[in-house]
Amino acid sequence: MKEIIPYLEILRRKWWMVALTALFALTVTLAISYFDTPLFRARGQYVVSPGQSLLRGEDRDLINGISALDRPSIVATFAEIMNSASIQRAAQAALQMDPLEAVHYTAQAVVIPDSSVIELTVSGPNPVTAAQLANTIGEQAINYTQALYQAYSINMLDPASPPLKPFSPNPARDGAVALFLGLIVGVLLAIFSDMWGDNLFQGSHIRDERITRPEPVLDLSPQQAHASSDASLRSGSSSSSLRSSSHP
C-alpha cells in the first residue's frame, strides 16, 4: 500500500492532465463516429437437409459415397460455397451492382455450432442492398449445389431483411472505450511527466551548482599575508638577478 501512495499524490496534483487526455480521446472518437459512414448488417439462414434421392433410396452408389462423408463436412462445404468469390460475383451481377459499389459490401457464411444451419451475413452502407445481396448469394449457392450434390440440398430457412439500425459506428460503445483508454493514457502521462520533470530539475540543479560554485578563497591572517608578499618579492628579485647575470 505504501508503494501506491506516491503515485496517488502525483494523480492528485496532475488530475487535470488525466481529465484532459480522457476528454480529448472522447471528443476525437465521437467526431469520427459522427462523420463515419453507417454500416448495416443483413442476415439470412439456410438449412442443409437430405435430398430427394437420398430419401427415395435412388442411385445407391452415389448415396453410399456421399454417406461416407459426415454431415458437418457437408454443411461446412456448403458454407464455403457461399463464401466463394465466384458465387458472390454472380450475385452482384444478378443485381447489376456497379463494381465500385460492390467493394463496399462484405459477405460471410458461417455454420451455427451443433446444427445443419448456415448463417449468411452481408454488411454494407445500404440496408436494402445488403439484404438483397444476402438473398441473391443464397439463391446462387442453391442453384450451384443442386447440380453438385444430390444426396443433400440447401434451402432457405429465414430470408434476410433490411436492418433498421446500423451496427457501426456505435457512439455509445466507442465513446465508452475511448474514455476508458483515455483515462489509462492520462494516468501514464501524469506519472511519467512527473518523473521526467523531476529528473530534468535535478540535472539542471547539478549543472547550476557546477557553474555558480565560487572558487575557494584562502583566509590568511595579516602575518601570513605579509610573509606571502615578502616571499613573492624575494622570488621576483631572484629571478631579476638571474636574468641580469646571464646577459654580459
Query: Using an 8 Å Cβ cutoff, are 27 and 133 in contact?
Result: no
Domain co-membership, 182 together with 128: no
- Cα–Cα distance measured from residue 5 to residue 10, given in angstroms and rounded to the nearest whole number: 9
Q: What are the beta bridge partners of residue 109?
A: 120
pLDDT at position 84: 95
Burial class (CB in 10 A: 0-12, 13-18, 19+), 64: exposed
Q: Is the pLDDT of residue 50 over 60?
A: yes
For residue 52, give the 3-state DSSP assignment.
Answer: helix
Domain co-membership, 57 together with 152: yes
pLDDT at position 9: 85
Domain co-membership, 128 together with 17: no
Domain co-membership, 72 together with 179: no
Domain co-membership, 191 together with 107: no
CA angle 205, 207, 210 (to 5 degrees): 110
Cα distances (Å, whole numbers) of residue 59 to 36, 62, 66, 146, 150: 56, 6, 11, 16, 10
- Please report, in angstroms and rounded to a whole number, the separation of the first and last CA atoms in the chain: 89
Question: Which CATH number characterizes residue 84's domain?
Answer: 3.30.70.1130
Domain co-membership, 48 together with 149: yes
Q: What range does the domain containing 175 cover?
A: 5-34+170-196
- Cα–Cα distance measured from residue 35 to residue 27, given in angstroms and rounded to the nearest whole number: 13
pLDDT at position 60: 53
Over the chain, what is the mean pLDDT? 79
For residue 99, give the 3-state DSSP assignment.
Answer: helix
pLDDT at position 80: 94
pLDDT at position 164: 92
CA angle 204, 210, 213 (to 5 degrees): 125
- Cα–Cα distance measured from residue 248 to residue 236, given in angstroms and rounded to the nearest whole number: 20
**Is 64 part of any domain?**
yes
Q: Would you say how long the chain is, in residues?
A: 248
Domain co-membership, 89 together with 179: no
Q: What is the mean pLDDT of residues 219-228?
A: 51
With cut-offs at 50, 70 and 90, classify the pLDDT of residue 56. Answer: low
Domain co-membership, 100 together with 188: no
**Is 21 part of any domain?**
yes
CA angle 158, 163, 166 (to 5 degrees): 140
Q: Is the pLDDT of residue 244 over 90?
A: no
Domain co-membership, 29 together with 41: no
Query: Using an 8 Å Cβ cutoff, are 49 and 152 in contact?
Result: yes
Residue 36 cell numbers, joined:
463515419
Q: Which of 57-61, 72-76, 185-189 has the lowest mean pLDDT?
A: 57-61
**Is 237 part of any domain?**
no
Q: What is the mean pLDDT of residues 10-33?
A: 89
Domain co-membership, 93 together with 17: no
**Is 23 part of any domain?**
yes
Domain co-membership, 44 together with 24: no
Q: Which of 80-84, 113-117, 203-207 has the lowest mean pLDDT?
A: 203-207
**Is 22 part of any domain?**
yes
pLDDT at position 234: 55
Domain co-membership, 147 together with 41: yes
**Is 241 part of any domain?**
no
pLDDT in tens, 134-160: 999 999 999 998 877 777 788 999 999
pLDDT in tens, 92-113: 999 999 999 999 999 999 999 9
pLDDT at position 225: 47
**Is 15 part of any domain?**
yes
Q: Which sign does the torsion angle of CA 101, 104, 110, 116 carry?
A: negative
pLDDT at position 230: 53
pLDDT in tens, 176-211: 999 999 999 999 998 888 887 655 445 454 455 555
Q: How many domains does the chain have?
A: 2
